[in-house]
């Protein structure tokens, strides 16, 4: 069962196609990191999932229910924190957490105390007097304390110092494996070792959506060398991204790497060549996707 599933999801704002035919599947129990440049459509997608916006077309299911029903009791198992979330500034932190408790039957007061201590939250201070980072910690505490089945975080790391980020990651690990996490972020270095699945959005489209291990295995930098000038194609294969060639050397990024197939294809097109290949880091994968600005897909169906 998927914690989140969308089918042909679209959202338009006049002439802007913010979310375009997105088919997203987030496995239960996974930690899914949604990446992409500013304006890619990540926040709009999350707002659609949380029923904060209505789509123009498509279907959304969250925890087995239509997202349009997410209200009242439908939100008891879902935690949501956004970068620009509004909090009742007049409330002290302790009052804010006490206000939230009755809405969630699964609220864990022991976990709440641990989070307050870990985040060093000043219980008696009003939210409006906290720094931006401390307000984010208060919001995170309220979203984690009831052990949600689904936790959705929109840019939770933005503006937080490294120690707070570490605290957040440690807190998320306490929820596993009973909680599915979907988080959007620009900070790949912070989430690369933590996430199990990754999605890359650009221009409203979900260009990559699969397990991190799958991405790492199929994206490779390939170098082909020969003793004589290469037979350079006018139009290289579509799976050869960023193709360049100069005399006896050609370079490209392979999007569906298989040693035997890639070698056979390269010799068919370029002639007698020797190949070397090196896997790309996730950062290099996303830089490649951003530069070409077009979707790619593996030979096999994505999970």
Q: Is the model's pLDDT at 287 over the cut of 90?
A: no
- pLDDT > 90: percent of the chain: 59
Residues 6+ apart with CB under 8 A from 13: none
The pLDDT, as a whole number, for residue 299 is: 41
The pLDDT, as a whole number, for residue 57 is: 95
**Rounded distance between C-alpha atoms, residue 154 and residue 194, angstroms:** 16
For 229-260, write each residue's pLDDT tens digit. Answer: 998 888 888 888 889 998 899 999 998 899 99
The pLDDT, as a whole number, for residue 59 is: 95
The pLDDT, as a whole number, for residue 159 is: 64
pLDDT tier at 220, thresholds 50, 70, 90: very high
Residues 6+ apart with CB under 8 A from 149: 3, 63, 77, 78, 178, 179, 180
**Rounded distance between C-alpha atoms, residue 83 and residue 153, angstroms:** 8
pLDDT, mean of residues 207-233: 91
For 137-187, write each residue's pLDDT tens digit. Answer: 899 999 999 999 999 999 877 667 777 777 777 777 777 678 999 999 876
Lookup result for tokens 């088919």: 23
Strand partners, 7: 59
pTM for the model stands at: 0.85
For the chain, which domains are there? 2-210 (3.40.50.300), 220-279 (no CATH)
The pLDDT, as a whole number, for residue 23 is: 97
Q: Is the model's pLDDT at 296 over the cut of 80?
A: no
Phi and psi torsions of 98, nearest 5°: -65, -35
Q: Is the model's pLDDT at 203 over the cut of 50?
A: yes
Strand partners, 181: 31, 151
């Amino acid at each position: 069962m998927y914690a989140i599933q969308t089918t042909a999801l679209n959202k338009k704002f006049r002439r802007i196609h913010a979310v375009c035919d997105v088919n997203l599947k987030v496995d239960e129990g996974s930690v899914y990191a949604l990446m992409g440049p500013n304006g890619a459509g990540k926040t709009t997608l999350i707002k659609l999932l949380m029923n904060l916006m209505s789509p123009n077309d498509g279907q959304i299911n969250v925890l087995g229910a239509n997202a349009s029903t997410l209200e009242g009791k439908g939100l008891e198992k879902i935690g949501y924190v956004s970068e620009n979330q509004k909090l009742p500034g007049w409330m002290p932190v302790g009052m804010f957490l006490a206000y939230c408790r009755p809405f969630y039957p699964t609220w864990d007061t022991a976990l709440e105390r641990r989070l307050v201590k870990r985040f060093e939250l000043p219980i008696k201070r009003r939210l409006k007097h906290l720094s931006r980072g401390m307000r984010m910690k208060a919001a995170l505490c309220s979203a984690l304390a009831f052990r949600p089945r689904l936790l959705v975080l929109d840019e939770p790391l933005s503006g937080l110092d490294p120690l707070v980020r570490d605290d957040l990651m440690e807190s998320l690990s306490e929820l596993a494996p009973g909680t599915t996490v979907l988080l959007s972020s620009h900070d790949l270095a912070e989430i690369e070792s933590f996430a199990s699945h990754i999605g890359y959005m650009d221009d409203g489209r979900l260009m990559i959506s699969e397990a991190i291990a799958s991405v790492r295995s199929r994206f490779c930098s390939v170098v082909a060398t020969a003793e004589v000038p290469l037979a350079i194609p006018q139009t290289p294969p579509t799976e050869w991204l960023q193709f360049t060639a100069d005399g006896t050397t050609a370079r490209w990024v392979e999007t569906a790497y298989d040693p035997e197939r890639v070698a056979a294809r390269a010799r068919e097109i370029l002639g007698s060549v020797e190949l070397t290949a090196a896997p790309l880091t996730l950062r290099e994968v996303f830089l490649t996707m951003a530069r070409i600005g077009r979707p790619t897909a593996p030979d096999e169906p994505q999970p």
